[in-house]
Amino acid sequence: MSLAQRGVPAEYLPLHKYLDGRYADTVVLTFVDLEALLGFALPADARLLPAWWSNPASDDVHSPQSGAWIHAHRTARPNLPARIVTFERVPG
């Protein structure tokens, strides 16, 4: 099954591949880093709403962008004022 079929839209595949390929348990990216990696500007909601970075427990009910980190076995924790996101490896 391809990543797109599992819930990682094509536009977020670069983020998924980046996170999946990191050995570190914690990866911190600035919004600028994320935009360079993705090749497009983050939507306004990503800059304003912590919920955009949610980590739903069910693979069936997640936002398109969250598939990028969920399928890389990570959670996302944004710090909107600092304009960074910390991606933590999910144990197990």
Q: Where are the domains of the chain?
A: 3-89
Nearest CA to 9 out of 69, 58, 54 is that of 69
Count the neighbouring beta carbons within 10 Å of the beta carbon of residue 33: 15
Helix axis angle for 31-38 and 13-20, nearest 10°, is: 110
pTM of the model: 0.88
Nearest CA to 77 out of 85, 69, 89 is that of 85
pLDDT for position 2? 53
pLDDT for position 55? 84
Strands (E), the chain: 26-30, 74-79, 84-89
**pLDDT tens track of the chain, all 92 residues?**
455 546 788 999 999 999 999 999 999 999 999 999 999 999 999 999 999 999 876 555 568 899 999 999 999 999 999 999 999 999 87
Rounded to 5 degrees, what are φ and ψ at 74?
Answer: -130, 160
